[in-house]
Structure 1
Amino acid sequence: MIERKFVAQKIKEHQIEEFIVNSLKNVGHSRTKMIKTPLGEKIIIYASRPGLIVGRKGQNIKELTENLKRKFKLENPQIEISEVENISLDANIVAERIMGALERFGAEKFKAVGHKTMQNVMDAGALGVEIIVSGKIPSSRAKSWRFYQGYLKKCGDIALTGVNKAQTQAKLKTGTVGIKVSIMPPDTKLPDKVELIDTKQEEIEEVKESKEEDKTEKKDEKQAEKDEKKSKTKKPAKKEDEKNES
Structure 2
Amino acid sequence: MGQKTHPYGFRLGYNKPFKSRWYADKEYADLLHEDVKLRTELKDKLKSAGISSIDIERAANKLVVRIYTARPGIIIGRKGAEIDKLKQDVQKRTKREVHIDIQEVHRPELDAQLVAESIALQLEKRVAFRRAMRKAVDSALRFGCKGIKVRVAGRLNGAEIARKEWYLQGRLPLQTLRAEIDFGFAQAYTTYGVIGVKCWIYQGENIPRRGSKMQEPRESAAA
Q: So what's the TM-score if we normalise by structure 2? A: 0.73
Aligned sequence identity (%): 25
Contact residue 134 and residue 178 of structure 1 kept, 8 A: yes
1:132 is aligned with what amino acid? Answer: R
1:103 is aligned with what amino acid? Answer: E
Q: CA deviation at 1:40?
A: 2.8
Aligned pair count reads: 185
Q: CA deviation at 1:6?
A: 5.0
1:81 is the counterpart of 2:99:
no
Of the structure 1 ranges 13-22 and 173-182, higher mean CA displacement relative to structure 2 is found in 13-22
Give the aligned partner of residue 212 of structure 2.
none
Give the aligned partner of residue 183 of structure 2.
165
Structure 2, unpaired ranges of 5+:
1-22, 209-223
User: 3-state DSSP class of the match of 1:140?
Assistant: coil
1:151 is aligned with what amino acid? Answer: R
Structure 1, unpaired ranges of 5+:
191-246
Q: Which one of 88, 98, 101 corresponds to residue 66 of structure 1?
A: 88
Instruction: Provide Cα deviations, 1:76-115, integer angstroms capped at 9, x if missing partner.
Output: 21212111122111111111111221122x15x1111100
Give the Cα–Cα distance (whole angstroms) in 2 for the partners of residues 157 and 8 of structure 1.
32
Give the Cα–Cα distance (whole angstroms) in 2 for the partners of residues 123 and 189 of structure 1.
25
User: 3-state DSSP class of the match of 1:176?
Assistant: strand
Q: Write 1 or 2 for the structure with the bigger share of strand.
A: 2
Q: Which one of 107, 112, 123 corresponds to residue 91 of structure 1?
A: 112
1:124 is the counterpart of 2:143:
yes
1:1-246 alignment to 2 at 5 Å?
Answer: 3-6=25-28, 8-36=30-58, 40-73=62-95, 75-104=96-125, 106=126, 109-138=128-157, 139-158=159-178, 162-189=180-207
Give the Cα–Cα distance (whole angstroms) in 1 for the partners of residues 203 and 34 of structure 2.
29
User: 3-state DSSP class of the match of 2:123?
Assistant: helix
Q: Write 1 or 2 for the structure with the bigger share of helix.
A: 1
Contact residue 39 and residue 76 of structure 1 kept, 8 A: yes
Q: Which has the higher contact order (CA 8 A, sep 6+)?
A: 2
Give the Cα–Cα distance (whole angstroms) in 2 for the partners of residues 116 and 189 of structure 1.
31
Contact residue 178 and residue 205 of structure 2 kept, 8 A: no
User: 3-state DSSP class of the match of 2:49?
Assistant: coil
Instruction: Provide Cα deviations, 1:104-146, integer angstroms capped at 9, x if missing partner.
Output: 2x15x11111001001111111111111111111212211110
Contact residue 49 and residue 83 of structure 1 kept, 8 A: yes
